[in-house]
Amino acid sequence: MQDETGHKVETIIGHSQKLQDDLQKLGLKIKHHEDNLKFLKTQTNNLEESILDLQVSLARYYSSSTTEAESQNLNHAQTEQSTIEQILQQEKTAAAVLCQLKARHGTQSSNSPLTKDVLGIVATLGKVHDDNLSRLFSEYLGLENMLAIVCKTYEGVKALEMYDRDGMIDKSAGLHGLGPSIGRPVEGRFRVICLEDLRPYVGKFVAGDPQKTIALLKPRLPNGECPPGFIGFAVNMINVDTMNLYCLTTSGHGLRETLFYHLFSRLQVYRTRDDMRLAAPCISDGAISLDGGMMKSPGVFFLGSRKDIDVRFPVNSGHSYLHVDIVKTEEQIKQMTWEKERIDEDMKREEDLLSNAKGSFDYKKQEFMKFLGRSSSYVTQN
């Protein structure tokens, strides 16, 4: 009887020690996550300070711009405005509703749950160097693509349109609810592009190019020579705002290698139709020519007169007037902002892990207290 009692006591002591060890491990895990959160918080605070300093420097750069630069900037803004006006003329489209919302509420619209994840309309996210390219690229993409809404994540896509229990569109929510309130009801289907779900270009970029040009291999004829009249790839002929070149997706991809690579792929641009026709053996994803020729895919040609699309890309008014320091500073701000977003995601994960660890600790503590109560009663009786 004494041996059995002794064995039982040893078992109680052993299990008690195990529970204490488990509690100690969980306590160390809690401290580990708390330390990680403290470190990440310090990092994000430092980045916020650095971003603020750079923004102040950027303001100084802009304020010291020359009169000519200001004039060019004015012309540039008028060009962008004409594109917005073209979109607003598409009265019952989702793109027009978003542009109207931005026109009425300005920067405040970016804080709305409906639009905070919306980057913009395709037509407003790129610029070209001349009116001919604007017409050609817009015609190639078509009105539906030019008016497509671009969201960073799928959460933004879901916010634009909601459904009832029967799967029907909820006309009181999303863009369908917003449209009538500003006199622009949305009719028909509209295209939405989710950046994080696109398959991005994963190759190399041209070193040292501030526009982050994609390093695509030039087409080669069977004899190994580049086709005469080849000008370049459409995806690289779109001028992207510096702030949208870097790190828009969680995987760190910018607009050129996501949105515009998705829209244009390896579309080639040639000087004339004859040049494009001679280059047919090395055209894989279509081609266009400056004199209006269009080939959607090998062997598929579009003939007839050009058709101007009602919405076109803005045209750059000459060369960029921004000083190299401005470009560099904008890139730094964008990269730091992206880094801060990654740290914020890490903090969220650490907070979840800390919450789980605390929950496990509380559960184990309750188990330990119950065990102490039961074992204490047994020891007292024996």
In three state form, how does the secondary structure of 145-179 look?
HHCCEEECCHHHHHHHCCECCCCCECCCCHHHHHH
User: What pLDDT shows up at residue 63?
Assistant: 44
Strand ranges across the sheet with 149-151: 118-121, 149-151, 192-194
pLDDT tens for the chain, residues 1 to 382: 555 555 566 676 777 777 788 878 888 888 888 998 899 988 888 888 787 667 656 654 554 443 344 444 444 434 788 888 899 988 889 999 988 888 776 555 556 778 888 999 999 999 998 888 999 999 999 999 999 999 999 999 999 989 888 889 888 888 888 888 877 888 889 999 999 999 999 999 988 888 889 999 888 888 888 888 888 899 999 999 877 887 688 888 999 999 999 999 999 999 899 999 999 999 999 999 999 999 988 778 888 877 888 889 988 765 444 445 666 777 788 888 888 888 988 999 889 988 888 888 888 788 777 777 776 665 555 5
Torsional sign, CA 329, 331, 332, 336: positive
The rounded distance, in Å, linking the Cα atoms of 259 and 201 is: 10
- Residue 69: the pLDDT is 43
118 class by beta-carbon count within 10 Å (0-12 exposed, 13-18 middle, 19+ buried): buried
- 3-class DSSP state of 230: strand
Give the pLDDT of residue 235. Answer: 95
Three-state DSSP at 89 gives coil
Q: What Cα–Cα distance (Å) separates residue 361 from each residue in 10, 18, 20, 371?
A: 25, 14, 11, 15
Residue 138: per-residue pLDDT: 94
C-alpha angle with apex 125: 122 to 128, nearest 5 degrees? Answer: 105
